[in-house]
Amino acid sequence: MTDSRHVTGTDESAKLLIAGRFFEYRVLRLADDKNKKISASEVRKTVAVSLAAAFGFVIALLWNQVVTGGLKVAGIDTTFDTIDFMGWLGYVVTAVAITVFMIVLIIVIGRWGNK
């Protein structure tokens, strides 16, 4: 049995599903409020915002690990069993690389959404 305080892959999937349903509801409500068909441009903008939010969430999850590892290196108790400087540095490099990649995707999708 797992501790309810720990986030599992299933919990993350549920959060993404909830976010997807929220944006689906938002698009449908927009159509009902204006009594018109949704244009392709509006759909692209909504999808772009949704994906940018998802990428931001991924970045936040990575930096959470970096900060937690840094606290452990500093001697502050964290959830890691063992961590050394090189392990923490691995988190930093990974977080920076994925952050840059996600920012590029945010820019590309943002431009696509503004067409």
Domain segments of the chain: what residues? 39-113
User: Taking the complete model, does pTM exceed 0.75, yes or no?
Assistant: no
Q: What is the pLDDT of residues 39-61, one digit of tens each?
A: 888 888 888 888 889 998 999 99
Measured in Å, how far apart are the chain's first and last C-alpha atoms?
A: 49
* 70-80 burial code (b ≥16 CB/10 A, e <16): bebbeeeeeee
Provide the Cα torsion 85, 57, 48, 17; round to 10°: 140
Question: Would you state the pLDDT for residue 2?
Answer: 45
Torsion angles phi and psi, residue 114, rounded to 5 = -90, 5
Mean pLDDT of 21-44: 68
pLDDT at 33 > cutoff 60: no
Residue bearing tokens 């449908």: 28
Residue with the bigger pLDDT between 8 and 63: it is: 63
